[in-house]
Amino acid sequence: MKNQSVLRWGILGAARVNERLMPAIVSSDNAKLIAIASRRQGAAAEVLAKYAPQETDVLVLDDPEQLLNNPDIDAVYLPMANEEHTEWAIKAIEQGKHVLIEKPMALNLEEIEAIEAAAIKYKVIAMEGFMYVFHPQHDAVHKLIDSGVIGEVRTVKTCFSFPMKPARLYRITRGIEQGGGAMWDIGPYAVHTARKWFDSDPVSVISMAKLNEHGADVSLSGVLDYGDGKFAHFDMSFERARRSEYEIIGTLGGIKCETVWNNPNDAPVVSWWTDAGERHTMQLEAANHFDLEIEHFSDCVLNGKTPALSFSDAKANCKTIVAALESASTGNKVEI
């Protein structure tokens, strides 16, 4: 964007995740929060007062359309419910806004293609919000793999679980088709991480789930087949102790990253070992991946850079999630 050093943001929805993203927009040097809108009377004001009380000049709106019509807003952060992402992303794009869409970008391939077509038509950037990829701890993991110490990557294990708090029950009071359950909520991370470390897409998936009375998966576990004996195991649950970690096993050793999708500022720990008997634990600098995500997106828009997360990545992730859910529902292995 010519002659602009700060991206002007609007937030579309008084969602709970604003607890993380709103302070990130407010504190980033290349971002400025202009407005927040909710469809519920007073909810936007409440969220602003809770997560950025010092921001007294932010516009508070009870109509999201009004935010989209505001010419002083360049980009929109979209944290509405999973099943609403497509409709509102397209509305924002049609108003010429760049959009950072919370994960999962959409619930099926066709919807992602519609968002992509709109972004191309209106010449804006739209990106799925996988904040975790911006954490520098994964660069440390990358370096270890590139150094050859663990050999060729053969297995990736991703585990994301926590006991569901009563305040968060809305995540599992709607069925899978409506975007509810663990696979659509925390599963996108697990699948994305497996795809990231294999740097390719799986050929098939087999998974199992426990559904609740609303038809939402409260626990889902499975295996992605990458061919030639390479597998990714994923385990997600709202009824287990907290884990937020991945493990990469190669032909010569393994790497474990222990605090992956957690709250920002957790002290990251990466450990690795080899068959030859080496054992190392690296305590890395804390970093806030939400801040880094906002800085990256703002930089891409302001300086015409390519976003780190592409539409083809979003589509491949979605395809894998949909196949995993089909497998859980039918009990069959599903080709991807």
Ligand X SMILES: NC(=O)c1ccc[n+]([C@@H]2O[C@H](COP(=O)([O-])OP(=O)(O)OC[C@H]3O[C@@H](n4cnc5c(N)ncnc54)[C@H](OP(=O)(O)O)[C@@H]3O)[C@@H](O)[C@H]2O)c1
Binding residues for ligand X, per CB under 6 A? 13-17, 20, 38-40, 43, 79-82, 102-103, 129, 131, 170, 185
Q: How far is the CB of 204 from ligand X (least distance, A)?
A: 26
* Residues near 271 by beta carbon (within 8 Å), at least 6 away in sequence: 255, 256, 258, 279, 280, 281, 282
- Supply the minimum distance, in Å, between the C-beta of residue 38 and ligand X: 3
Q: What does the alpha-carbon distance between residue 225 and residue 184 come to, in Å, rounded to a whole number?
A: 20
Nearer to ligand X, 15 or 300 (CB): 15
Q: Are 88 and 21 a contacting pair, CB within 8 Å?
A: no
Nearest to residue 45, comparing CAs of 64, 61, 31, 34?
Answer: 61
Q: How far is the CB of 146 from ligand X (least distance, A)?
A: 27
Helix %, strand %, coil % of the chain (to 5): 40, 25, 35
Q: How far is the CB of 302 from ligand X (least distance, A)?
A: 22
Is the CB of 126 or the CB of 223 nearer to ligand X?
Answer: 126
Name residue 248's amino acid: I
Residue 259 is classified by DSSP as B
Residue 184 or residue 198: which is nearer to ligand X going by CB? 184
DSSP-derived secondary structure for 288-309: -HHHHHHHHHHHHHHHTPPPSS
DSSP per-residue codes, 220-249:
EEEEEE-STT-EEEEEEESSS--EEEEEEE
- Cβ proximity to ligand X, 36 vs 149, nearer residue: 36
199: its two tokens: 């740097």
84: amino acid identity, one letter: E
**E strand intervals along 149-216:** 153-161, 204-211
Q: What is the CA radius of gyration of the chain?
A: 20
Please state the closest distance from residue 312 (CB atom) to ligand X, in A. Answer: 20
In the complex, the smallest distance separating the C-beta of residue 39 from ligand X, rounded to whole angstroms, is 4
Q: Tokens 């979003």 identify what position?
A: 314
Report the relative pairing of strands 243-250 and 231-237 from DSSP bridges: unpaired
**Nearest to ligand X of 81, 249 (CB atom):** 81
Q: Closer to ligand X at the Cβ: 129 or 250?
A: 129
User: Closest distance between ligand X and the C-beta of residue 21, in Å?
Assistant: 7
Tokens 């209106």, located at residue: 122
Residue number with CB closer to ligand X (61 or 316) = 61
Nearer to ligand X, 80 or 334 (CB): 80
In the complex, minimum distance from the CB of residue 120 to ligand X, in angstroms, rounded to a whole number: 23
> By beta-carbon distance, which residue lies closest to ligand X?
13
CB 282 within 8 A of CB 143: no
